[in-house]
Amino acid sequence: MKVNLSDAEWKLMKPLWDRAPRTMMELTALVREDTGWSKSTVITMLSRLEAKGAVRHEEGLRAKQYYPLIRREEAARAETESFLSRVYGGSLGLMMSAMVDSHALTEEDIAQLSAILDKAKEDGR
């Protein structure tokens, strides 16, 4: 399932991916310092995430328990594809060329990319 998350929605998904289930009050406490969100804002955001199919809830003994329905990797892949499409017309090569031209890659970045490409070759891609 391909779900595009807003920046705000990522803020709620991260603690759910780290440990689920979580209650609305737990989520509010976890994001309050970073976002300043009130309980009602978190409720609104959770409703949006449920409507998108990214989150589900179960009725708990005292509070609803929220669970992620999408994996972090799926969301990251969708975000990456969306970014590449918007900014570089879908071209990973164009993005990498821009990174190289701007000297934005460290030696560690280059080593990681080389390892990823070597693995892709080994996998026959």
For domain 1-90, give the CATH number.
Answer: 1.10.10.10
pLDDT of residue 1: 66
- Rounded to two decimals, what is the model's pTM? 0.78
pLDDT of residue 29: 97
pLDDT at 125 over 80: no
Q: What is the pLDDT of residues 40-96, one digit of tens each?
A: 999 999 999 999 999 999 998 889 999 999 999 999 998 988 888 888 888 888 888
> Residue 22 gets which letter from DSSP?
B
pLDDT of residue 82: 87
Measure the CA–CA gap between 101 and 97, rounded to whole angstroms.
6
Residues of the chain with pLDDT > 90: what percent? Answer: 63
Q: What's the mean per-residue pLDDT of the chain?
A: 92
Comparing CA positions, the residue from 34, 36, 40, 28 lying closest to residue 66 is 28
pLDDT of residue 39: 96
Q: What is the pLDDT of residues 23-46, one digit of tens each?
A: 999 999 999 999 999 999 999 999
State the Cα torsion 103-123-88-81 to the nearest 10°. Answer: -120
Structure tokens at 58: 């179960």
